[in-house]
Copies of this chain bind each other. A is one copy, B any other.
Amino acid sequence: MTDLVLHEYAASGNCYKIRLTASHVGVVLQRREYDIMSGETRSLAFLSEVNRNGRIPVLQIGDRFLPESNAACVWLADGSALIPTDRFDRADMLRWMFFEQYSHEPNVATLRFWLHLIGETALSDMQRAQIASKRTGGEAALALMEEHLASQRFFVADMPTLADICLYAYTHVAEEGSFDLGHFPAVRRWIDAVAALPRHVAMED
């Protein structure tokens, strides 16, 4: 099998979702850690060799590089039970993965990064000015998930798919961004269900 290297910052949910997908499909990843706080992913070497976009994660597949966490998950899960075979369900899985990147991650993940990993006192004025709108956006994303999960065990087709893996990554640590999951009981039940799946691995593993 081709060597697989995950270029990552382990505390990032976007990196964790790739490790979680790999575990579910039984694939071993080599891991290479970067210190994003010191700008290691903005170095000339990283930009020219790994990702011109200066972001982790990137999944290296042999000598090819695949940025964007959800795309890397799709590559890993190709042909597995994590991707539905039904045409509508497969598109509906991607629907939740696009929702994750557009409506969830920029709010839920960014507030966690700012408040938990950087720390509020170290934020710029521009960042501090966006906290309120990101809280509103993150709560709206969680509320949409709550409504959906009130009548569904998993996001798509009553089975665990990449939509669950990708949404789980930042949702299960949303309280580190000071979101109160006590307001979202169906989301909490779903978090427990994802964590109870065979082959689950924790973020800190």
Query: B-contacting residues of A (Cβ < 8 Å)?
Result: 52-53, 61, 64, 66-72, 74-75, 78, 87-88, 90-92, 94-99, 101-103, 105-106, 126, 129, 133, 144, 147-148
- State how many angstroms separate the Cβ of A105 from the closest Cβ of chain B: 7
B72–A103 touching, CB < 8 Å: no
Query: Are B75 and A61 in contact, with the CB atoms below 8 A?
Result: no
Contact between chains at A92 and B71 (CB < 8 Å): yes
Chain B residues closer than 8 Å to A70, beta-carbon distance: 94, 98
| In the complex with contacts A75-B88, A91-B75, A126-B133, A98-B68 CB distance below 8 A | yes
**How far apart sit A71 and B163, CA to CA, in the bound complex (Å)?**
12
- Does A99 lie within 8 Å of B64, measured CB to CB? no
Flag if A67 contacts B95 (CB, 8 Å): yes
A90 to B77 alpha-carbon distance, docked (Å): 12
Chain B residue numbers with a CB within 8 Å of A126 are 133
Q: Give, as a whole number of angstroms, the nearest-CB distance from A69 to chain B.
A: 8
Of the candidates A64, A68, A74, the one having the most CB atoms from chain B within 10 angstroms of its own CB is A68
How far, in angstroms, from A88 to B64 measured CA to CA in the complex?
9
> Taking each of A61, A75, A91, A129, which has the highest tally of chain B beta carbons within 10 Å of its own beta carbon?
A91
